[in-house]
């Protein structure tokens, strides 16, 4: 019945026929796929060719750039080398110039130092000469001083001898008040001897008739003189007391006690002239210190 059915239905396709159609369709699809693959491969080959060309162009550009860069680097290196050489030459020239300047400065400093040393040497020699001269002068002066000292020693010895002799000539004389007085000098030499002894202070006077004259702590007035007999009269004012020493003789201690002294002041007249007497006043040391 099935055969009959297939034969009876003209529109229905048999299975073998359907299989052939599918196979043909598959083949067609395969061919189409092959064609598309071929086209795609050709396009890819073209693309690869274009890519390869582009790469080669880029490589060539890179090589060109590298060559230019290398050339520029070499040029820069050459320039730097020349600059380095020029800089080195300039530095060497500068160093040589500074070295020459330093040598010149050193030579100038050495010359200046030599001049200063020479000047100092001359100054030192001058000072040494002055010192030598001063030493010679000092030696000569010392010699003179030594001679003078020897002379002074001789004079001192002579004076001492004279003083000793004069001292032997000095005598103590009873004063007008009945008190043994000090040593009495009758001349200038003996008075110098008394001063050298230093037992009392001595004040010399030259008294003329007239107003009272201050001698030490007292005031003296000459009232009368008798040159023929070497006698005189004095008015003595001391401690606000006026005392008359009448008719006294030369080299006689005219004694007078003053306040604050246990020893009398002594007035000694060595020379009597007309209306004038010359002598000295002897004052105790204790009173003088007070």
Domain 171-289 part of CATH 3.40.50: no
Out of 86-100, 135-149, 175-189, 237-251, the most confident range is 237-251
Inter-helix orientation angle 15-169/188-197, to 10°: 130
256: how many CB neighbours lie within 10 A of its CB? 21
pLDDT in tens, 8-43: 555 555 666 777 778 888 888 888 888 888 887 777
d(CA 237, CA 283): 15
Backbone angles phi, psi at 9, to 5 degrees: -110, 100
pLDDT score at 203 = 95
| Strands of 213-215's sheet in order across | 213-215, 218-226, 231-238, 241-249
Q: Which of 31-35, 166-170, 196-200 has the lowest mean pLDDT?
A: 166-170
Q: Which of 6-10, 111-115, 186-190, 244-248 has the lowest mean pLDDT?
A: 6-10
Could you give the C-alpha distances from 159 to 105, 152, 172, 211, in angstroms and in order? 76, 10, 22, 39
3-state secondary structure of 219: strand
Asked if 270 and 279 touch (Cβ cutoff 8 Å), the reply is yes
pLDDT score at 5 = 47
pTM of the entire predicted model: 0.43
Out of 146-150, 156-160, 263-267, 275-279, the most confident range is 275-279
Return the domain boundaries, the chain: 18-169, 171-289
3-state secondary structure of 270: strand
pLDDT in tens, 173-187: 766 666 766 789 999
Asked if 251 and 268 touch (Cβ cutoff 8 Å), the reply is yes
């Amino acid at each position: 019945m099935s055969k009959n059915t297939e034969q009876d239905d003209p529109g229905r396709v048999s299975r073998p026929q359907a299989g052939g159609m599918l196979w043909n369709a598959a083949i067609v699809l395969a061919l189409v796929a092959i064609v598309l693959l071929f086209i795609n491969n050709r396009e890819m080959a073209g693309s690869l060719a274009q890519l390869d060309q582009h790469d080669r162009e880029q490589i060539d550009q890179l090589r060109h750039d590298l060559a230019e860069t290398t050339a520029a680097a070499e040029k820069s290196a050459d320039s730097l080398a020349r600059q380095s050489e020029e800089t080195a030459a300039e530095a060497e020239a500068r160093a040589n110039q500074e070295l020459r300047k330093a040598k010149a400065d050193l030579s100038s400093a050495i010359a200046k130092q030599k001049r200063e040393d020479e000047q100092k040497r001359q100054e030192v020699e001058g000072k040494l000469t002055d010192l030598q001269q001063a030493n010679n002068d000092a030696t000569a002066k010392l010699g003179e001083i030594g001679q003078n000292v020897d002379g002074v020693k001789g004079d001192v010895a002579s004076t001492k001898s004279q003083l000793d002799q004069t001292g032997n000539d000095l005598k103590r004389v009873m004063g007008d008040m009945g008190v043994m007085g000090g040593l009495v000098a009758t001349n200038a030499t003996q008075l110098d001897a008394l001063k050298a002894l230093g037992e009392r202070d001595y004040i010399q006077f030259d008294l003329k008739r007239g107003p009272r004259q201050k001698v030490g702590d007292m005031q003296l007035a000459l009232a009368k003189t008798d040159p023929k007999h070497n006698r005189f009269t004095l008015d003595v004012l001391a401690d606000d007391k006026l005392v008359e020493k009448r008719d006294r003789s030369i080299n006689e201690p005219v004694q007078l006690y003053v306040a604050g002294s246990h020893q009398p002041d002594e007035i000694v007249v060595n020379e009597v002239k007309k209306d004038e007497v010359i002598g000295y006043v002897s004052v105790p040391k204790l009173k003088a210190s007070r």
